[in-house]
Every structure is written in C-alpha cells, then in structure tokens.
Amino acid sequence: MSKDKRHWRRLPEALAEPGWRWIMTWIGVSNMLSAYGDEHRRLRKLIAPSFTARRTKAMQPIVEGIVAELLDAMDAQPPGRPVDLRSAFAHPLPMRVICELFGVPAHMRTEMAQVMEAIMDTTATPEQAEATAVQIATVLPALVAYKREHPGDDLTTELINVRDSGDSLSDDELRDTLLLLIAAGHETTVNLIGNAVHALLTHPDHLKGVLSGEISWSAVIEETLRWSPSIANLPLRFAIEAIEIGGVRIEAGDAIITSYLAAGHDPDQHGQEADRFDPTKEHGEHLAFGIGVHRCIGAPLARQEALTALPALFSRFPDLRLAVKESELPHVPSFIAHGWGSLPLLLRR
Ligand code: HEM
C-alpha cells in the first residue's frame, strides 16, 4: 500500500473536481505523510530524531510551566461561570508546546492555529477549501522567511538549515513538513485531552477510580485513544496491487481510508465490550497512532502532554463537571479529527 497520490487511478478526476479540493491538503502535499518508499524514509529521517522519547522528556519543564499557567488563568475565572475546556486548556497547551518547538513567534500563532483548524474541517465548501490552500501558501512561507531573518534554537531553523545546505529538502517539502508537524502538533493532542476529560466526566465510577489512585492516568489515556481516538479516519492510501481483506477485493489503484475509530471498536480485536469506555480492562493494543512505517512520530509528546495535563487539571478542580447536557456538546466539524468543538465545564461545586 502506498500513500503517494500517483498510485491513485482516479487522481485526474479528483484534480478536476472542485468538490475534491479539500482532500489535496491531505494527499497533494509533499511531506512524509503522503510519501512512499525512499522518499518517505528521506523525509521522515530528517525530523524523527527530534521526537525521540529522550528529546521529548527534555520538553517536560516547558509542558509543566504552560499547564500551571493555564490552570491559574482558569482558576481566576469568576465562580459559577462555565469555562470552555477546549479554548482555555486543551487547545492552548499543545499549540504553545508545538509553537515553542518550531519557534513560531507570538504574532503568527493565532493565524497559524486558524489554518490548522481549517485543514481539519471536512465540511468546508470548495471556496473555503481554496481559501485555506491560499492561507497555507502564505502563512508557512511567512514563517520560513521570519526564521531565516531570526534563526533560533528550534526545529524550523533546523529544517531551513537542511534546505539551505544542499538538495535533500525542496522548498515545497520544507513548507509541507512544517504544515504536517504544526497541524499534527495542534489538533490531535487537543482532542486527546478533551476526549479523556469527556470520557471521565461521563463515567463517574471510573473518574472516582482514577482520583483514588486505583486506575492509572496512563490507562485512561490509552483507553481514550482506543475508544475515542483523536484521528477517526485518515485519507488516503492506495493499493499498489489488488488486495483481498475479509472477502472484499480492493483493486490496484483504488483509494483506501484507514479508520482508527472503527479499529478501536472492533470486537474481534478488543472484545465484546469494545464499545464501552473501561480503563480498568486490558483491551489489547490500539491503533490510534497508526502502525508500520507511517506510525506517528509525535506519540511520546502527545502522551507526555496528556499525562501532565490531566492529573494537574483534576487535582486543581476535583469537582469538575459538564456545564451542559452531553447531547448539547458540538463535535469538531470533521470526519478526520475526532473531538469536541467546545467542552463547557463548571470548575467547582
Ligand atoms: C493524540 C495525539 C496524536 C494522534 C492520535 C496521532 C495520530 C497519528 C496517526 C494515526 C498517524 C498515522 C498515519 C498513518 O498511518 O498514515 C500519525 C502520523 C504522524 N504524526 Fe501523529 N498523532 C498525534 C500527535 C502527534 C504529534 C504531537 C505530532 C508531532 C508534533 C505528530 C506527528 C505526526 C507525524 C509527523 C506523522 C507522519 C508520520 C509518517 O507519515 O511517517 N502526531 N499520527
């Protein structure tokens, strides 16, 4: 199986169809997520060493500092007023961490966050998708230009140095690698934190178990990733040769969507109660970070952020609860990103 769009037999049709514009942000870009074979290895090798468990651990003081600052700001809200967990905590934490890592200056962060949210919006009209493509083509080159003038001890500067020291990274690959990493760093961990908080607040027995120390935070995080993964579905893979799976034949050149949400609920893999959130049970390995050569390189960072954020949040606000009925919570408008568009909470009794 390949992720290179050149292996898709319907690519010419997709390129000609305005309704398909949005998908080009996913498959029409030049980064490791949409590359195959040697090209994939080359692009992944440039950045993977920056996300090892050891490099990620070194980020811990920064993560803790941001968590404490965000909790203080929530604490300072007038009593009784609902606080949206997404905008007050779950979103700014990963956004600030990834912006620190990539040296994104303060004046570019709001626009950067807007672009990353727009990429995930799979309800966008062709016009909106076109506007997002234009924004990507502006915002990321602006970051590169800024970092060329103001280099720092950050990953954008490192990638610019690779670009400028030879032919191992083209301008498009530099732009699209930044796009992938900043987008992956933003939206996915946001939903991991939001989905875990939602799962605990709607399963009070498990919340009690976590607060009493019977259930570990790691178990909550892994169970959230299985039951409610931050990426529900990911476009696209392409069959290089005909494949037969469970009696279904996929022809060479056909497109395939991988569904991490469906995989996490598969009773053959996770038992007859796979549809239930239960961090007390051993459910077997989940696929929320993918598998194989494209496996997520940010998994250690995402886990570390969640493992810092969740205990700190519930230790500061042990009586946290939903401020609206569960049925009133809006989903993120996407079949790729999977989470809550807002999560209004009451902080205290
Ligand atoms: C809860 C958080 C996260 C989830 C659920 C998640 C999920 C995924 C998944 C499912 C893939 C696999 C794609 C595939 O097989 O085609 C992937 C790839 C990737 N992720 Fe993550 N991700 C998360 C956080 C992050 C973070 C924080 C970063 C980096 C800052 C990151 C960077 C990447 C990159 C660069 C790839 C592409 C790897 C490749 O194609 O070789 N992710 N992620």
**273 exposed, middle or buried (CB, 10 Å; 0-12, 13-18, 19+)?**
exposed
Q: Are 151 and 267 in contact (CB under 8 A)?
A: no
User: What whole-number distance in Å separates Cα of residue 321 and Cα of residue 12?
Assistant: 50
Our mutation pick for probing the ligand 1 site, out of 40, 188, 257, 291, counting the most ligand atoms within 8 A of Cβ, is 188
> 264 CB under 6 A from ligand 1?
no
Instruction: From the CA of 182, give the closest atom in ligand 1.
Output: 30
Q: Are 313 and 71 in contact (CB under 8 A)?
A: yes
Q: Are 8 and 23 in contact (CB under 8 A)?
A: no
Helix, coil or strand: residue 293: helix
| pLDDT surpassing 90 at residue 340 | yes
Q: Which residues contact 27 (CB under 8 A, 6 or more apart)?
A: 3, 5, 8, 34, 235, 236
Task: Give the pLDDT confidence score for residue 22 in this predicted structure.
Answer: 85
If you measure from the C-alpha of residue 296 to the centroid of ligand 1, how many angstroms do you get, rounded to a whole number?
4
Percent of the chain that is helix, strand, coil (3-state, to 5):
60, 10, 30
Give the model confidence (pLDDT) of 69-124 as tens digits.
999 999 999 989 999 999 999 999 999 999 999 999 999 999 999 998 899 888 99
Q: Which residues contact 102 (CB under 8 A, 6 or more apart)?
A: 143, 154, 155, 156, 178, 181, 182, 185
| pLDDT surpassing 90 at residue 20 | no
Give the model confidence (pLDDT) of 306-328 as tens digits.
999 999 999 999 999 999 999 99
Query: From the centroid of its chain, how far is CA 169?
Result: 24
Q: Which of 207, 25, 229 minimizes the C-alpha distance to 121?
A: 25
Give the model confidence (pLDDT) of 171-229 as tens digits.
999 999 999 999 998 889 999 999 999 999 999 999 999 999 999 999 999 999 999 99
The correct answer on CATH 3.60.20.10 for the domain covering 22-227+288-346 is no
66 to 91, 100, 132, 239: CA distances (angstroms): 12, 11, 29, 43
pTM: 0.96
Q: Are 275 and 25 in contact (CB under 8 A)?
A: no
Give me the phi and psi of 244, to 5 degrees please.
-120, 125
Give the model confidence (pLDDT) of 27-79 as tens digits.
999 999 999 999 999 999 999 988 988 889 989 999 999 999 999 999 999 98
User: What whole-number distance in Å separates Cα of residue 34 and Cα of residue 5?
Assistant: 7
Helix, coil or strand: residue 288: coil
If you measure from the C-alpha of residue 82 to the centroid of ligand 1, how many angstroms do you get, rounded to a whole number?
32
Task: Give the pLDDT confidence score for residue 79 in this predicted structure.
Answer: 86
Task: Give the pLDDT confidence score for residue 313 in this predicted structure.
Answer: 98
User: What whole-number distance in Å separates Cα of residue 173 and Cα of residue 3?
Assistant: 15
> 336 CB under 6 A from ligand 1?
no
> 95 CB under 6 A from ligand 1?
no
Give the model confidence (pLDDT) of 231-263 as tens digits.
999 999 999 999 999 899 999 999 999 999 999
Q: Are 74 and 83 in contact (CB under 8 A)?
A: yes
Task: Give the pLDDT confidence score for residue 21 in this predicted structure.
Answer: 84
Give the model confidence (pLDDT) of 138-155 as tens digits.
999 999 999 999 999 999
284 Rama class: left (phi>0) / alpha (psi -120 to 50) / beta: left
Question: If you search the block for the tokens 């949040």, which residue do you land on?
Answer: 313
Task: Give the pLDDT confidence score for residue 168 in this predicted structure.
Answer: 85
The sign of the torsion formed by the CA atoms of 211, 279, 291, 113 equals negative
Q: Which residues contact 9 (CB under 8 A, 6 or more apart)?
A: 252, 253, 254
Query: What is the average pLDDT value for the chain, to the nearest integer?
Result: 95
User: What whole-number distance in Å separates Cα of residue 261 and Cα of residue 122?
Assistant: 16
User: What whole-number distance in Å separates Cα of residue 224 and Cα of residue 340?
Assistant: 13
Kindly report whether the peptide bond that precedes residue 174 is cis, defined as omega within 30 degrees of 0: no
Task: Give the pLDDT confidence score for residue 214 in this predicted structure.
Answer: 97
User: What whole-number distance in Å separates Cα of residue 95 and Cα of residue 80?
Assistant: 27
Task: Give the pLDDT confidence score for residue 137 in this predicted structure.
Answer: 92
| pLDDT surpassing 90 at residue 287 | yes
Task: Give the pLDDT confidence score for residue 333 in this predicted structure.
Answer: 92
Task: Give the pLDDT confidence score for residue 30 in this predicted structure.
Answer: 94
> 190 CB under 6 A from ligand 1?
no
Lowest mean pLDDT among 17-21, 312-316, 343-347: 17-21
Q: Which of 198, 196, 195, 200 minimizes the C-alpha distance to 211?
A: 200
Instruction: From the CA of 292, give the closest atom in ligand 1.
Output: 15
> 26 CB under 6 A from ligand 1?
no
If you measure from the C-alpha of residue 290 to the centroid of ligand 1, how many angstroms do you get, rounded to a whole number?
8
Residue type, 187: E
User: What whole-number distance in Å separates Cα of residue 292 and Cα of residue 306?
Assistant: 23
Instruction: From the CA of 305, give the closest atom in ligand 1.
Output: 27
| pLDDT, average across residues 272-288 | 94
If you measure from the C-alpha of residue 44 to the centroid of ligand 1, how many angstroms do you get, rounded to a whole number?
12
Task: Give the pLDDT confidence score for residue 186 in this predicted structure.
Answer: 81
